[in-house]
Amino acid sequence: MKLVTEEQSARLATHELAYRAVREALIAAVDPQTASFPVVLGHSFDPSNRFTVKSGAAPGIVGLKIGSYWPGNPERGLPRHSSTIILIDEAIGRIKAVVEGGQLNAYRTAAADAVATDTLARKDAEVLALFGTGHQARYEAAAVARVRALREVLVVGRSTASTEAMVADLRALGLPARPSGAEDACRAADIIVAATTAREPLFEADWVKPGTHISSMGSDATGKQELPPALFERAHLFCDLCEQSRRIGEFQHAGLEARIEAIGSVLLGAVPGRTSESEITIFDSSGIAVQDLFIARAILAEIAST
């Protein structure tokens, strides 16, 4: 059995590696031979300590990812979030590799945003409205900046302090960030990214201008919500996995009549993506196991090549 530690995977993780692996995974997700199994949500004796198990199988690869959130960890000098990917030997059913990947998971999540934005946003999109000031939001902005030449990043946070801190972090990365209110950010944006734990819409549907692309990255459990459902009625809807998006993703708030396309089908050319410069596109990322399996395989390949 191969063990890749958190330190090893963090050292090898890059936005480029994650983009390639996740793009491949999103295409694999629409392969009829690929299986994504129901998500398991659990917690420790203390219900505030939560974990999620996502599992799946694609041709040549099978396994699962355990993602945990322990809010008291900073007091111990540890991050709140951790992630462990387990690859199973398909021939004998034993564990083939364990990849610790807390930081790797941040790259993986942001890569799904980057692939969708690269595929669906207007080519001339240059203003990003970023909702969220947590750990993941920084990776989202950096990943989007790789696929579009951003002239401005408008950061919308719940507090002045957290917003200013995120602006400073993004400026340190060379991104043209500044704080903004929600309405001003939406009205100016060509791309809107939400990376929050919200349970109600972050903005009004009427604030979104024609031609905008939106990525909802935070809705991955029942009751979570970042976007106004009224927006779905005048937008083209995409996701990583349709059944899961309707069950625990942002589109749990969409009506049954809503037409939702898998982004993998767009990448294959099986269905159209953006059909006009004025169309609003929305991508919902609820997070699927094949993304974790493919990025773990990419890390193992990097180790094998060195």
* Catalytic residue list: 65
Phi, psi of 140, rounded to the nearest 5 degrees: -60, -50
> What Å distances lie between residue 258 and 38, 190, 254, CA to CA?
22, 23, 6
Question: Could you tell me if 157 and 166 are in contact, meaning their C-beta atoms sit under 8 angstroms apart?
Answer: yes
Q: What does the alpha-carbon distance between residue 125 and residue 209 come to, in Å, rounded to a whole number? A: 12
Q: What does the alpha-carbon distance between residue 254 and residue 20 come to, in Å, rounded to a whole number? A: 30
Q: What does the alpha-carbon distance between residue 29 and residue 26 come to, in Å, rounded to a whole number? A: 5
User: Could you write out the DSSP letters of every residue in 275-299?
Assistant: -STT-EEEEE----HHHHHHHHHHH
